[in-house]
Structures are given as structure tokens and as C-alpha cells.
């Protein structure tokens, strides 16, 4: 939860109210209030009073601020590494997306990095080139992050079947997938689900 608050404050130089911070962090006001109080106490967050309203901003002069901002930006660098690697593949997937805690950017040391690859129907799962590419990517990401990588692979037909049968994975992807390459997965899943209900 501290990470959610710090990510919001790290993305802006403007002061924000508690309500704005809660909305942007996707947390309740009570949760954010408790976190901000602790961060203010440690000097990482500045607070200003404007009448009956308090606003908060990251104290960028704090000795830990630069390190925190770099750490909070690590997810972005991981996503860039995935994109750069996959674009160099000889057999490219149709869609690459992350989901779970990595997509929400709240992954911790014990979190898995959930990576989804949608491959063309004609590419077999045991294709030697495809398998070599995916295994190398998993090893690379585990080295870069220290987290286990859970690779989920679906052919386009399998994705369509998962949507039709309303598999639990589809609901998770629709809620939180972050598309890195290809058609926006969340929009695609929502559209296909709407079509299936007609």
C-alpha cells in the first residue's frame, strides 16, 4: 500500500489532497491517510494545510527520494526489456501482456511476474525456435527481477475459446492486463465478451 501512495506522489510534482491521492492510488481514504501519516513522520512526504484541507507531495530533497523513485520506476524498465527482447524474435507473438501484481505495479520480492503470450495458431507450443525464445525470456526476466516468471501461452483459437467459456483467467486479464505488444488485450476481451452475450 505504501508503494501505491509513493507511485502516485512520484508521478507528479503537484501537491494532492488525501481524497485525490486515494482515488489515484485505488485505495480507501482511511488506508491512504494511515500511510501518508507514517510517510510524513519519516519526512518522505511533505504536508501543507489549506484551511480545512491538507495536501501532500513527495519530499524530493529527502536522502531516500532518488532511490525510491528509481525503485518505483523499475517496473517500467522491466516492461521495456520485455518489449525490446520480443521485438527481436524470429517468431513473434500476436500479443504480449503482463497481469497480476506486476501489471498493478505492486509486485514484491515474493510475487510472481505473470506474462501472457498469444501466439499465432500455426505456431506449435513445441516449436524449437519458439521454445528457445520463451525459455530465454523467462531466464532473462528472472535474472533482472529476482522474481519467478509464470509464463502463460495461448494460441489465438485458445484465447477465443477461453472467452467463450468464461474461464477465470479471462476475467483477471480483462481487469488488469497491461498490453506491451499488439492489440490492447483488455479492450479486445471486453469487446469479445460483449459480442458473446448478444
The CB density around residue 189, as the number of other CB atoms within 10 Å, is 19
CATH number for the region 74-197 comes to 3.30.460.10
Catalogue the E-assigned strands of the chain: 16-17, 45-50, 53-58, 95-99, 113-119, 149-155, 178-181
Contact 108, 75 (CB under 8 A): no
Q: How much of the chain, in percent, has pLDDT values that exceed 90? A: 65
Give the pLDDT of the chain (198 residues) as one tens digit per residue. Answer: 677 788 889 888 899 999 999 988 878 899 999 999 999 999 999 999 999 999 999 999 999 998 888 877 778 889 999 999 999 999 999 999 999 887 876 666 678 999 999 999 999 989 999 999 999 999 999 999 899 999 999 999 999 999 999 999 998 899 889 999 999 998 889 887 666 565
Calculate ∠ Cα 164-185-9, nearest 5°: 135
* Residue 198: predicted pLDDT: 55
Q: Which CATH architecture has domain 2-69?
A: Orthogonal Bundle (1.10)
* Residue 77: predicted pLDDT: 86
* Residue 103: predicted pLDDT: 80
**Residue with cell string 494511515:** 34
R_g (Cα) of the chain, nearest Å: 20
pTM score, whole prediction:
0.69
Contact 159, 104 (CB under 8 A): no
* Residue 93: predicted pLDDT: 97
Average pLDDT, the chain: 90
* Residue 107: predicted pLDDT: 64
What's the CA gap between 145 and 116, in Å, rounded?
Answer: 17
76-102, pLDDT tens digit by residue? 889 999 999 999 999 999 999 999 887
What's the CA gap between 12 and 57, in Å, rounded?
Answer: 8
17 Cβ contact list (under 8 Å, min separation 6): 53, 54, 55, 56
50-62, pLDDT tens digit by residue? 999 999 999 999 9
Domain ranges (residues) in the chain: 2-69, 74-197
Amino acid at each position: 500500500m505504501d508503494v501505491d501512495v509513493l507511485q502516485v506522489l512520484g508521478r507528479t510534482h503537484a501537491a494532492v489532497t488525501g481524497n485525490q491521492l486515494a482515488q489515484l492510488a485505488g485505495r480507501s481514504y482511511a488506508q491512504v491517510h494511515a500511510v501518508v501519516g507514517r510517510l510524513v513522520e519519516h519526512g518522505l512526504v511533505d504536508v501543507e494545510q489549506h484551511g480545512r484541507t491538507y495536501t501532500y507531495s513527495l519530499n524530493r530533497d529527502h536522502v531516500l527520494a532518488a532511490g525510491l523513485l528509481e525503485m518505483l520506476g523499475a517496473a517500467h524498465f522491466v516492461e521495456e526489456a520485455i518489449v525490446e527482447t520480443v521485438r527481436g524474435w524470429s517468431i513473434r507473438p500476436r500479443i504480449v501482456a503482463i497481469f497480476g501484481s506486476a501489471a498493478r505495479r505492486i509486485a514484491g520480492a515474493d510475487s510472481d511476474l505473470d506474462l501472457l503470450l498469444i501466439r499465432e495458431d500455426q505456431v506449435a507450443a513445441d516449436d524449437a525456435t519458439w521454445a528457445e525464445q520463451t525459455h530465454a525470456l523467462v531466464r532473462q526476466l528472472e535474472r533482472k527481477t529476482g522474481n519467478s516468471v509464470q509464463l502463460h501461452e495461448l494460441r489465438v483459437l485458445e484465447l477465443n475459446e477461453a472467452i467463450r467459456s468464461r474461464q477465470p483467467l479471462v476475467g483477471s486479464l480483462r481487469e488488469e492486463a497491461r498490453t506491451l505488444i499488439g492489440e490492447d488485450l483488455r479492450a479486445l476481451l471486453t469487446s469479445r465478451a460483449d459480442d458473446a452475450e448478444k
